[in-house]
Amino acid sequence: MATVAAPSAAANPPPAQAGVSGTVDAKGGATSPKAPQMTRDNGAPIGDNRNSLAAGDTGPVLLEDITLIEKLARFDRERVPERVVHARGTGAHGVFRATADLSDITTASLFAQRGKETPVFVRFSTVIHPSGSPEGLRDPHGFAVKFYTDQGNWDLVGNNLPIFFIRDAIQFPDMIHSLKPSPVTNKQDPNRLFEFFSGTPEATNMLVHVYSNLGTPASYRTMDGNGVHAFKLVGKDGKTIFAKFRWISHQGVKNLDGDTANKAPFNHLTDDLYGEIAKGNFPSWDLMVQTQTAEELAKLPYNPFDDTKEWLGVPFRKIGEMTLNKVPENFFRFTEQSAFAPANLVPGIEPSPDRMLQGRLFSYSDTQRYRIGANVMDLPVNRPRVDVVNNYQDGQLDHATGKIDVNYFPSVTAKKAVDPRFAPAPHRIDAIVQTAPISRTEPFDQAGAFYRALKPADKADLVKNLAGDLNVVTSLRTKVIMVSYFAQADRDLGTRLGQAVNVPASEVEKAIAEYNASLDARYAGK
């Protein structure tokens, strides 16, 4: 590999550098003392640092290998990138207390015993609207919880609604583009978002939720939270079970109708949360979990890893309580710089095959590294409460201290350890690798069930809210298709909405017939 003539002298370092303190050369053949356990940036221990998570001996590497993705993304950012801002949100400190011992189904330490307490930081937010927007605007509302556990940080990143618009992360950039302002007019436009959703029937369930009064909560204290996705819990014996998490507000769920939300003060959600904490009225939530074995999930009439669906009929049980008791001392340093990512998992909690979650494992962490910088996890609000041991270096805002010459693995002079106990749980995959939609889509069933469970006044508000935006749409085709989706969810909903937006019932019936006749082609986007 040499490109020039070799020097005649022996390849020893110059005298001025020989034996520099802290270098491999100075240590010679010496071995290091007990090796510290290697971790990811969130402090969670690493089980293998030389082999990627792959589907079989010859299979492809999986995107859910969060150690691999983090390692490569951090390496890619060792040279400083530019920074980008983030959306509107409000945060608070608090504590989580386990009320159940889950050591029989997961090795996650925060659930190891009843009464165990774990510090948390919670960030509530709007999803679509920009940082300077009024808080009364209709939107899904983010509900992200960072647990500072003694095995590293666990981020349960979800929202106040139990499902999402799409089921595959490959559609996420397109969906967000449709919901954000037009690149031509710089205005949000119902024509854009409903054109997108007219080709995305699985979004019907989320649309009836967000256009209900759940889309305009009265306060952050009076909304529930959901992890949305299924996760895999791994026990000491290596056995796995699947779980979904939900936060239930002790303050009850209270929402505003559209008219009241439009008149709400600009900062009403933040003012309410800060004000109640200042009074000592600390808001609290129960953490609930649904669990299902793989065999039980196989009996469900829909794909259990489809995040446009709830696990309806699967019981919840309480496993903990969370209380928020402190307002951040500085908004920017804590709330704005807090960085949440579903890839921040801890031993005993792993990803499920949920296609949306699989993409979020990469995209959220990558967004935070771009937005704040490669050393985002060094900031006080994001820093784990355990030692972080890895070979990541440099990048934006690096303020590491100490002299570290051995920034590679393996090494005999400065050992770092990995423990196979923390490797991802093995699971068998027997499938054809292809790009194809899931086989059981059922895009309308749960949307109809949600509508039928609403009170009469809430049904009327849902129709009014939907009609308000659909009446802005100029494309009759888009309006007809959207009404046909809601009609397939529930006939009463479709009839009332069709009348509200002046779509003839005959056109709706024709659209339903065309949809059913070309279901496969339509879903595949052909």
Angle between helices 190-198 and 172-179 (to 10 degrees): 150
User: Is the domain covering 444-524 a CATH 1.20.1370 domain?
Assistant: yes
Using pLDDT thresholds of 50, 70 and 90, give the confidence band for residue 77.
Answer: low
Q: Which pLDDT does position 23 carry in this prediction? A: 45
Q: Which pLDDT does position 369 carry in this prediction? A: 85
Q: Which pLDDT does position 28 carry in this prediction? A: 54
Domain segments of the chain: what residues? Answer: 89-372, 444-524
Cα–Cα distance for residue pair 347/349, rounded to 1 Å: 6
Cα–Cα distance for residue pair 287/317, rounded to 1 Å: 8
- Structure-token pair, residue 295: 């065999």
User: Which member of 42, 129, 153, 159 is catalytic?
Assistant: 159
Q: Which pLDDT does position 408 carry in this prediction? A: 84
List phi, psi (to 5°) of 403.
-110, 115
Using pLDDT thresholds of 50, 70 and 90, give the confidence band for residue 124.
Answer: very high
Neighbours of 312 (CB within 10 A): 13
Choose between 436 and 75: higher pLDDT: 436
Answer yes or no: is pLDDT of 521 > 70: no
Quick check: is 382 catalytic? no
Answer yes or no: is pLDDT of 26 > 60: no
Give me the mean pLDDT over the 13-40 stretch: 62
**Closest C-alpha among 308, 439, 198, 509 to residue 517:** 509
Cα–Cα distance for residue pair 313/451, rounded to 1 Å: 17
89-372 and 444-524 share one fold: no
Q: What SS3 class is residue 70?
A: helix
Digit-coded pLDDT (tens) for 37-68? 888 888 889 888 767 777 765 556 687 888 87
Specify whether the backbone of 388 is left (phi greater than 0), alpha (psi in -120 to 50) or beta.
beta
Choose between 130 and 83: higher pLDDT: 130
470: enclosing H helix or E strand: helix 456-470
Digit-coded pLDDT (tens) for 442-491? 899 999 999 999 999 999 999 999 999 999 999 999 999 999 999 999 99
Q: Which pLDDT does position 438 carry in this prediction? A: 80
**pLDDT above 70: percentage of residues in the chain:** 88
User: Which member of 86, 129, 209, 229 is catalytic?
Assistant: 86
- Asked, as a colleague might, if the bond just before 410 is cis with ω within 30 of 0, I would say yes
What is the Cβ-side half-sphere exposure of residue 490, based on CA atoms within 13 angstroms? 19
Give me the mean pLDDT over the 158-172 stretch: 92
Q: Which pLDDT does position 31 carry in this prediction? A: 60
CATH no. for 89-372: 2.40.180.10
Using pLDDT thresholds of 50, 70 and 90, give the confidence band for residue 19.
Answer: low
List phi, psi (to 5°) of 208.
-70, -25
Q: Which pLDDT does position 35 carry in this prediction? A: 86
Residue 204 neighbours by CB under 8 Å, 6+ apart? 443, 444, 447, 485, 486, 488, 489
Which residues, in sequence order, are bridge partners of residue 119?
95
Please identify which residue in the block is written with the tokens 């350890």: 417
> Out of 287-301, 341-355, 383-397, which region has the weakest mean confidence (pLDDT)?
383-397
Cα–Cα distance for residue pair 465/452, rounded to 1 Å: 17
Quick check: is 159 catalytic? yes
pTM, two decimals, is 0.85
Using pLDDT thresholds of 50, 70 and 90, give the confidence band for residue 34.
Answer: confident
**Closest C-alpha among 481, 521, 518 to residue 501:** 481
Q: What is the dihedral of CA 373, 377, 378, 381, to 10 degrees?
A: 110
On whether 515 is known to bind a ligand per the annotation, the reply is no
Using pLDDT thresholds of 50, 70 and 90, give the confidence band for residue 176.
Answer: confident
Cα–Cα distance for residue pair 349/336, rounded to 1 Å: 27
Give me the mean pLDDT over the 290-312 stretch: 95
Digit-coded pLDDT (tens) for 203-236? 999 999 999 999 999 999 999 999 999 999 999 9
Contact 232, 349 (CB under 8 A): yes
